[in-house]
């Protein structure tokens, strides 16, 4: 059983009220793989330049992540992003984006990746995402991420891709933009009608929602007193979710719900540490313990429910 | 076992994108009592003018609510509020407030109310709220509501009251204002340190949080596609919560959590109907069914959790 994760590998430079970080390892494929690596075998697909240091590769392989699909472009430079968080940590501003080798990345999957049972297509041009799906030998359970840019400039390609996958993960604003609906419930249902089996709406500190023909689920985030660094929280969420699916191999609504819960737990660790540090430092026991607390928190003791007459 | 509810009884005139309502029965004590009446015996304390029609009294008594504590001021006029909701239904604007008989209301509890086990002190001047608490013979489990006005103009009285009760219910903004903390978790903890056993932060469409020495709980709201009329949703939430406590008589953290869940369920019905109509039309079965759905939604099947190694 394996999971292929396609996405960006980047150097992030970030200013927050608590401190700054220069050229830290980041990118969606990194956060996703790191988060999912606690659950099973992850195969990373991405691209870097010659400037990508061996320590970063080591960090990934130390977590058991296969990087056979990490292309290194000779003479190229790795994708760089820099941004700044405001006081409330809810809003951020992009200061600069240098796509570099990521701009013309056309993923070519190693043969050993092509029979994976789970596929996560990180944010990217929908045609590129579709080209990865086409390379898969057997049809994996496929989850797609996107962003405002692609909804803006590549809507037909995105809609075509979405109609052909198992799940779409997006945030509140993207769900409004894609559906044209302000109400999060109506938005989710409208996107579901575009064809995926599941729509998963990420709501940051307010949790996540799942839309499916069999029902709708809303789960809260874990309340945090110390959001140190939310970059990658959405990717860690998706990584924990994909990891759980890889492990449980259960993709009915109940299985997706448990996976979203694991995503929620995983993302909370990402928010509490700088960069991938938050994910690197945790142990499986930390994850398991917090999941147990989360599950208990949401458990409503049936004995205590007053029987209304 | 009984619950005393103190608060406003009002005529509300409201404009929403879906329609308008003129002089509808409203007020915190009304929404609270209606919501709590599904769970057990409610004793209402409030004040109205001679203009308060007999049908409204009938509506309350039909739901088994005791109105011995509803004072009628001869020649007086009932409290009137009018407001307007914006397109997103999240924001509203107060158009006019006529306190009328509510302005100088000094509650005088009937003897039959003074041994109630549960007391809800609806939003009002903290000294007036405290005067009600002083009239209680035995010490009830007391929950207090407040608003920005009292935090602004009567903070010492409010802090003194809060240190002396079991729980404070307030919304996100009020919790920020009272604590001086932006982060909802830090805010809740700081208010908890003022002395109440519980702080319950209402977050509208994003659910509610409970702060207690034994732990913190966050529960989501029920996702609604059709928020027709959110006036009174906060009071219906508190009413369902108090009703559950009245019924279960369990005030440990698990008991409060189940009560907050019932509040969440009850509030969702309020949002779906105009005024008290939403609460009037439902049956105990409707409540019980939606509670069951909510409980199932939050249940994370333990069999499905991947055991991380």
The answer to whether residue A309 scores a pLDDT higher than 70 is no
Q: Is A284 in Cβ contact with B295 (below 8 Å)?
A: no
Provide the sign of the torsion angle of the four alpha carbons A278, A283, A287, A293, taken in this order: negative
Q: Is B258 in Cβ contact with A189 (below 8 Å)?
A: no
Q: How far is B98 from chain A (nearest CA, A)?
A: 33
Domains of chain B: 2-298 (3.40.1190.20)
Q: Is A185 in Cβ contact with B223 (below 8 Å)?
A: yes
Range 80-139 of B in CB contact (< 8 A) with A: 87-88
Q: Give A223's contacts in chain B (Cβ within 8 Å).
A: 184-185, 209, 216, 218
The answer to whether residue A303 scores a pLDDT higher than 80 is no
Which are the contacts of B136, defined by CB distance < 8 A and separation ≥ 6? B4, B109, B114, B115, B116, B119
Tell me the C-alpha distance between B230 and B92, whole Å.
10
Q: Is B298 in Cβ contact with A219 (below 8 Å)?
A: yes
Range 194-223 of A in CB contact (< 8 A) with B: 203, 205-207, 209, 215-223
Q: Give A256's contacts in chain B (Cβ within 8 Å).
A: none
Strand intervals (E) in B74-221: 79-85, 92-98, 118-121, 141-145, 167-171, 198-202, 208-212, 215-219
The 10s digit of each residue's pLDDT in A238-249 is 999 999 999 999
Q: Is B217 in Cβ contact with A218 (below 8 Å)?
A: no
Contact B59, B276 (CB under 8 A): yes
Residue found under tokens 């939430």: B237
Which residues of chain B fall below pLDDT 70? 88-90, 227-230, 274-275, 302-309
Average pLDDT along chain A: 91
Q: Is A225 in Cβ contact with B261 (below 8 Å)?
A: no
Helix (H, G, I), strand (E, B) or coil at B78: coil
- Which one is predicted more confidently, A223 or B71? B71
Q: Give B298's contacts in chain A (Cβ within 8 Å).
A: 219, 298-300
Q: Is A298 in Cβ contact with B288 (below 8 Å)?
A: no
Q: Which two tokens stand for residue B54?
A: 């007999």
Q: Is B219 in Cβ contact with A218 (below 8 Å)?
A: no
Strand intervals (E) in B204-290: 208-212, 215-219
The 10s digit of each residue's pLDDT in B37-95 is 999 999 999 999 999 999 999 999 999 999 999 999 999 999 999 988 877 666 778 88
The answer to whether residue A226 scores a pLDDT higher than 90 is no
Q: Given this model, what pLDDT does residue A307 score?
A: 59
Q: What is the CA B253 to chain-centroid distance, rounded?
A: 19
Q: How far is A224 from chain B (nearest CA, A)?
A: 7
DSSP-assigned beta bridge partners for residue A45: A6, A69
The answer to whether residue A233 scores a pLDDT higher than 50 is yes
Selection from A299, A16, A204 nearest residue B203 by Cα = A204
Tell me the C-alpha distance between A137 and B8, whole Å.
67
Q: Given this model, what pLDDT does residue B270 score?
A: 80
Q: What ipTM describes this predicted complex?
A: 0.89
Q: Give B244's contacts in chain A (Cβ within 8 Å).
A: 306
Q: For strands A19-26 and A141-145, give the pairing.
A: unpaired
Q: How many CB atoms lie within 10 A of CB A129?
A: 27
Q: Which two tokens stand for residue B107?
A: 């509650």
Q: How many CB atoms lie within 10 A of CB B253?
A: 17
The answer to whether residue A304 scores a pLDDT higher than 50 is no
Q: Given this model, what pLDDT does residue B302 score?
A: 65
- Which one is predicted more confidently, B226 or A45? A45
Residue B184 burial (CB < 10 Å; 0-12/13-18/19+)? Answer: buried
Q: How far is B116 from chain A (nearest CA, A)?
A: 19
Residue found under tokens 């909802």: B184
Mean pLDDT of A24-50: 94
Three-state SS across B123-153?
A: CCCHHHHHHHHHHCCCCCEEEEECCHHHHHH
Q: How many residues does this entry show for chain B?
A: 309
Q: Is A300 in Cβ contact with B295 (below 8 Å)?
A: yes
Considering only CB atoms, B223 lies closest to which of A216, A284, A309, namely: A216
The answer to whether residue A272 scores a pLDDT higher than 80 is no
Range 269-308 of B in CB contact (< 8 A) with A: 284, 287-288, 291, 294-295, 297-302, 304-308
Q: What is the CA radius of gyration of chain B?
A: 19
Q: Which two tokens stand for residue A97?
A: 């984006």
Q: Given this model, what pLDDT does residue B304 score?
A: 47
Strand intervals (E) in chain A: 2-6, 10-16, 19-26, 41-49, 66-73, 79-85, 92-98, 118-121, 141-145, 167-171, 198-202, 208-212, 215-219
Residue found under tokens 């009220």: A17
């Amino acid at each position: 059983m394996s999971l292929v994760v396609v996405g960006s590998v980047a150097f992030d430079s970030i200013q927050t009220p608590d401190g700054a970080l220069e050229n830290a390892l980041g990118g969606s494929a990194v956060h996703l793989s790191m988060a999912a690596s606690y659950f099973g075998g992850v195969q990373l697909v991405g691209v870097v330049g010659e400037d990508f240091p061996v320590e970063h590769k080591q960090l990934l392989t130390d977590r058991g992540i296969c990087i056979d699909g990490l292309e290194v472009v000779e003479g190229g430079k790795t994708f760089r992003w820099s941004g700044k968080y405001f006081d409330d940590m809810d809003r951020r501003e992009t200061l600069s984006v240098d796509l570099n080798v990521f701009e013309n990345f056309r993923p070519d999957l190693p043969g050993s990746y092509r029979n994976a049972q789970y596929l996560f297509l990180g944010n990217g041009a929908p045609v590129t995402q579709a080209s990865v799906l086409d390379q898969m030998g057997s049809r994996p359970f496929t989850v797609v991420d996107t962003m405002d840019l692609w909804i803006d400039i590549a809507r037909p390609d995105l809609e075509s891709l979405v109609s052909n996958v198992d799940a779409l993960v997006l945030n509140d604003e993207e769900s409004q933009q894609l559906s044209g609906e302000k109400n999060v419930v109506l938005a989710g249902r409208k996107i579901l009608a575009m064809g995926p089996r599941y729509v998963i709406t990420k709501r940051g500190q307010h949790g996540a929602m799942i839309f499916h023909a069999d029902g709708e689920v809303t789960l809260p985030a874990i309340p945090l007193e110390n959001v140190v660094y939310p970059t990658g929280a959405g990717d860690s969420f998706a990584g924990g979710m994909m990891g759980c699916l890889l492990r449980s191999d259960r993709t009915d609504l109940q299985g997706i719900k448990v996976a979203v819960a694991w995503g929620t737990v995983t993302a909370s660790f990402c928010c509490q540490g700088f960069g991938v540090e938050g994910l690197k430092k945790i142990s499986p026991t930390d994850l398991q313990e917090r999941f147990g607390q989360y599950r208990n928190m949401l458990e409503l003791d049936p004995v205590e429910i007053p029987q209304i007459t």
